Amino acid sequence: MELTTPSDKTFQLPVPSFESNVSVEQALLNRRSRRDFKSDPISMNDVSQILWAAYGINQSKKFSLFRSGRRLKTAPSAGARYPLELYLVAGKVNDLPPGLFKYLPSDHCIRQISDKDLRGELYAAARHQDMILKAPASLVYTAIFKRMTSKYGERGRIRYVPMDVGHSAQNVYLQVTAMNLGTCAVGAFDDEQVSIVLDLPPEEEPLYIIPVGYYYG
């Protein structure tokens, strides 16, 4: 599939909120997988909050005078290797054109990769699961495994990367629950087809699709 590529079009995301009226305990109690999404759009504030919760920067830490500083994120990562990349497939987001965007945590912004609404293609690659077609947007996690395997070998691939994406996806679940939105993590898809839809570089492999939006019920 041929993607149309804007000339490095970047959208700065609103500053995320660090407080809410929903406790962690309430979010855990109310967490559910939601599959029946409404057609209502979500906002740029919603996108900002969800992406930050998933993989945003929450701290800068200096390890020593002999080691470079490392910016820590909202999800833990073995050895702070951070092997994940995060994409937004947007269809109905207020003040954001439809398209494919990559999240850049260091600047809390998204860079547009394609100006096509790819929800239909992603839906087809994910075995025609309606929630991906109906949700106003989906997050797609990919991994660059060599970030882990270069330090931990094969254990990094089979153990630590799956742990990392699980940590981050649970952040998304709890965040959207606190925002009265819904989500459902999807692992049933054709890896090759998802890679084609997102035009992923060879070193990246898709791991998870997470549609988000308002839901019925």
Taking only the tens place, the pLDDT of each residue in 1-22 is 445 445 579 999 999 999 999 9
More reliable by pLDDT, 204 or 61 = 204
Query: Kind and range of the H or E element at 117?
Result: none
In a domain, 3, yes or no: no
Domain residues for the domain of 30 are 10-59+70-213
In a domain, 18, yes or no: yes
Q: What is the mean pLDDT of residues 24-39?
A: 97
In a domain, 180, yes or no: yes
How far, in Å, are 24, 62, 69, 215 from residue 86 at the CA level? 24, 25, 22, 23
In a domain, 29, yes or no: yes
In a domain, 164, yes or no: yes
Say yes or no to pLDDT of 63 above 80.
no
In a domain, 1, yes or no: no
Tokens read off for 108: 């809390």
Q: What is the mean pLDDT of the chain?
A: 93
Q: For residues 142 and 160, what is the distance between their CA atoms, to the nearest angstrom?
A: 14
Q: Report DSSP letters for 25-48, one per residue.
A: HHHHHH------B-SPPBPHHHHH
Say yes or no to pLDDT of 61 above 60.
no
- State what percent of residues in the chain have pLDDT above 90: 90
Q: Is 64 exposed, middle or buried (0-12, 13-18, 19+ CB in 10 A)?
A: exposed
Residue 92, classed as helix, strand or coil, is coil
Q: Which pLDDT tens digit goes with each residue over 114-148?
A: 999 999 999 999 999 999 999 999 999 999 999 99
Residue 199, classed as helix, strand or coil, is coil
In a domain, 2, yes or no: no
> Dihedral sign, CA of 2, 191, 54, 58?
negative
Tell me how crowded residue 139 is: count the other CB atoms within 10 A of its CB: 24
Residues in CB range of 181: below 8 A, 6 or more apart: 42, 46, 50, 212, 213, 214, 215
Total structural domains in the chain? 1
- State what percent of residues in the chain have pLDDT above 70: 91
Say yes or no to pLDDT of 35 above 50.
yes
Q: Which pLDDT tens digit goes with each residue over 146-155?
A: 999 999 999 9
Instruction: Supply the pLDDT for residue 1.
Output: 43
Which pTM does this prediction carry?
0.93
User: Which band of pLDDT confidence, cut at 50, 70 and 90, is reported for residue 59?
Assistant: confident
Tokens read off for 172: 């998304």
Of the ranges 37-46, 52-61, 122-131, 139-148, which one carries the lowest mean pLDDT score? 52-61
What is the CATH number for 23?
3.40.109.10
Distance of CA 29 to the CA centre of its chain: 23
In a domain, 52, yes or no: yes
Q: What is the mean pLDDT of residues 15-44?
A: 97
